[in-house]
Amino acid sequence: MAEHNELGKKGEQLAIDFLIKKGYTIRDTNWRYQKAEVDIIAEKEDTLAVVEVKTRSTKDFGNPQDFVNKKKIKLLVEAIDEYVISKDLDVEVRFDIIAIVKENDAFAIEHLEDAFYHF
């Protein structure tokens, strides 16, 4: 597996562990609908958190969250509409980004709630 793929998988596992520690229940990971893949679908209280995980080995080219573009946002929104309908859920939906940057042998994790409102 390519090094960037391994880093991405590590980042997704770190994000899952992070969310569980914050009291979230993980409903699904890598959920697909048409051309979209949702990294993590988590729930806390009555809120469904749709989480896009962005992991980078450096900030040299910008913050990880800066790599979520409008096309990706549109695909995620369409996918979660389908998810909520197909699962017959009655929840608030929030779109988050978990940005992870490798710093030496450690990882810095930033959880941006309602991240799509910042675009």
Q: How confident is the model at residue 67 (pLDDT cuts 50, 70, 90)?
A: confident
Q: How confident is the model at residue 119 (pLDDT cuts 50, 70, 90)?
A: very low
User: Which helix or strand (DSSP H or E) is residue 83 part of?
Assistant: helix 70-86
Residue 58: how many other CB atoms lie within 10 Å:
9
Radius of gyration of the chain, Cα coordinates, nearest whole angstrom? 14
> Over 70: is that where the pLDDT of 38 sits?
yes
- The pLDDT value recorded for residue 3 is 61
Q: What is the side-by-side order of every strand in the sheet holding 106-112?
A: 25-33, 36-44, 47-56, 92-103, 106-112
Q: Is the dihedral of CA 117, 8, 71, 64 positive or negative?
A: positive
Over residues 2-6, the mean pLDDT reads 69
What fold does the segment set 3-118 form as a domain?
Trna Endonuclease; Chain: A, domain 1 (3.40.1350)
- Look at the pTM and tell me if it is higher than 0.85: yes
Over residues 5-32, the mean pLDDT reads 94
Over residues 83-97, the mean pLDDT reads 95
Single out the residue of 24, 107, 39 nearest to residue 79, CA to CA.
39
* Beta-bridge mates of residue 95: 50
